[in-house]
Every structure is written in C-alpha cells, then in structure tokens.
Amino acid sequence: MNLWRKPLDLQDIKVARGEIHIIKDLCKGCGFCVEYCPKDVLEISEEFNTKGYHPPYIKNPDECVECHLCEMLCPEFAIYVTLKEDNNVVKSASEEGGQ
C-alpha cells in the first residue's frame, strides 16, 4: 500500500536549476565548495590552474538546485551560480542546502 498521496500537480512542480561558473584561476583548491554542495555536484579536478592549484569541475551539472552554497562558501570569490534559462526540470522534492 502506498501511504503517500501523489500530488496532483507533480508534473508542474519546477525545481530551480543552476548554472555553475568557476573562475578557475582564482581558485586555491580549498575544497569547501565540493564538501558542502548538498547535491554532490562538484569534484576537485586533476587539472592545475595558473597558480598551481586544482580547481573543482562540475561532475553532476543537472543536479544543481541553485542553492548558492558553493558561492557563499568560496573564500576566493571563484565560483558563482546563475539560474538556468530552461528552468523546467521536473522533480518531486528538492533538498534545501545551507547551514
């Protein structure tokens, strides 16, 4: 038996989707954005930036819910997020990130 009611408007629920911008050469590889992204979107790359640090890369671009936590927790102002234009991915629930 299914105890949960399926919302009638499930197909209309829109979850915000974010587009992540990484200014690689500002990054100092601290890993805060990777650790605290609630959706596990980011990962440290193997690549070196011009200062010799490993910036993050976007591992799961479709999972980003535009919570801006990575942007808030970057001490280098090296990552920010904008709302994706085609913002119509349908998902039943989203998790709010944040401390």
Q: Is 66 in the site for ligand SF4 (CB under 6 A)?
A: yes
- How many residues bind ligand SF4 (CB under 6 A)? The answer is 29
Q: Which of 37, 64, 70, 74 binds another protein (CB under 8 A)?
A: 74
Q: Is 48 in the site for another protein (CB under 8 A)?
A: no
Gap between the Cα atoms of 56 and 71, Å rounded:
12
* Residue 49, C-beta contacts closer than 8 angstroms, at least 6 positions apart: 24, 25, 27, 55
Q: Which of 17, 20, 29, 55 binds another protein (CB under 8 A)?
A: 29
